[in-house]
Amino acid sequence: DGGITQSPKYLFRKEGQNVTLSCEQNLNHDAMYWYRQDPGQGLRLIYYSQIVNDFQKGDIAEGYSVSREKKESFPLTVTSAQKNPTAFYLCASSPHTSGGAFYNEQFFGPGTRLTVL
Amino acid sequence: AQKITQTQPGMFVQEKEAVTLDCTYDTSDPSYGLFWYKQPSSGEMIFLIYQGSYDQQNATEGRYSLNFQKARKSANLVISASQLGDSAMYFCAMREGSGNTPLVFGKGTRLSVIA
């Protein structure tokens, strides 16, 4: 089955520790995205990558880092610099488009709920 | 400036009735796409419906339809014949330009369907 997997589903971290959230997709999609969701805030973009070895900051990139060494994988590291990391993190991907098409659904993973103790 | 506005934090609807979830957007780009997603309590994001800025007709997908009023910059989601399983968070989102630019989301509306 094709899809996006995120692991772990629940993650607990002590203050001052870095932690890495996994996101893997077998859909052969070019673009991948990380969003953060807080209650009442909707989804906010952290980072995105449109191609391997390239990524761009989103609206709330401070305190986070990413890498895109393989097409299938886009891990997110929450560093100790992130002041309030407790949130629900969603990874998404979308296929390559051409010809200026802007219909391009984003497919989402099941999410990781991070709690800082 | 907020690009997507959902003014209804919560809505209630009786089972089998229709309900409209509001969404207004702000863009100066003539080319854009509007999306609606459903998020049940499990957290997964489920794509419901899409409307392109150049589409002449309102989009429909089963019980979902999109009331697209371009001049008013609104893209309201209409759910007909509500079911208990429709209880969830609903998010409106927009993509400006083309390709793989990220979606920008509104803050969502929590829909509760009452038996």
Report the distance separating Cα B63 and Cα A88, nearest Å: 29
In this prediction, residue B1 carries a pLDDT of: 59
Tens-place pLDDT, residues A21-63: 999 999 999 999 999 999 877 999 999 999 999 999 999 999 9
Tens-place pLDDT, residues B52-94: 999 989 999 999 999 999 999 999 999 999 999 999 999 999 9
In this prediction, residue A98 carries a pLDDT of: 59
Tens-place pLDDT, residues A62-107: 999 999 999 999 999 999 888 899 999 999 999 876 555 556 788 9
Confidence band, pLDDT 50/70/90 cuts, at residue A16: confident
Q: Does B95 touch chain A (CB under 8 A)?
A: yes
B104 has pLDDT over 60? yes
CB A58 within 8 A of CB A46: yes
- CB contact under 8 Å between A104 and B31, yes or no, is no
Please spell the DSSP secondary structure of A10-61, one letter per residue.
EEEE-TT--EEEEEEE-S--SEEEEEEEETTTEEEEEEEEEETTEEEE-TT-
Chain A's closest residue to B7, CA to CA, is A40
In this prediction, residue A39 carries a pLDDT of: 81
Q: What is the mean pLDDT of chain B?
A: 94
- The residues facing A32 across adjacent strands are A49, A93
- CB contact under 8 Å between B45 and A108, yes or no, is yes
Cβ partners under 8 Å of residue A80, min gap 6: A15, A16, A17, A18
From the list A35, A42, A48, the residue facing B107 with the nearest CB is: A42
Report the distance separating Cα B72 and Cα A37, nearest Å: 28
From the list B9, B32, B105, the residue facing A43 with the nearest CB is: B105
Nearest CA distance, B41 vs chain A (angstrom): 11
Report the distance separating Cα A109 and Cα A92, nearest Å: 6
In this prediction, residue B101 carries a pLDDT of: 86
Report the distance separating Cα B16 and Cα B57, nearest Å: 25
From the list A50, A103, A110, the residue facing B33 with the nearest CB is: A103
Chain B's closest residue to A108, CA to CA, is B45
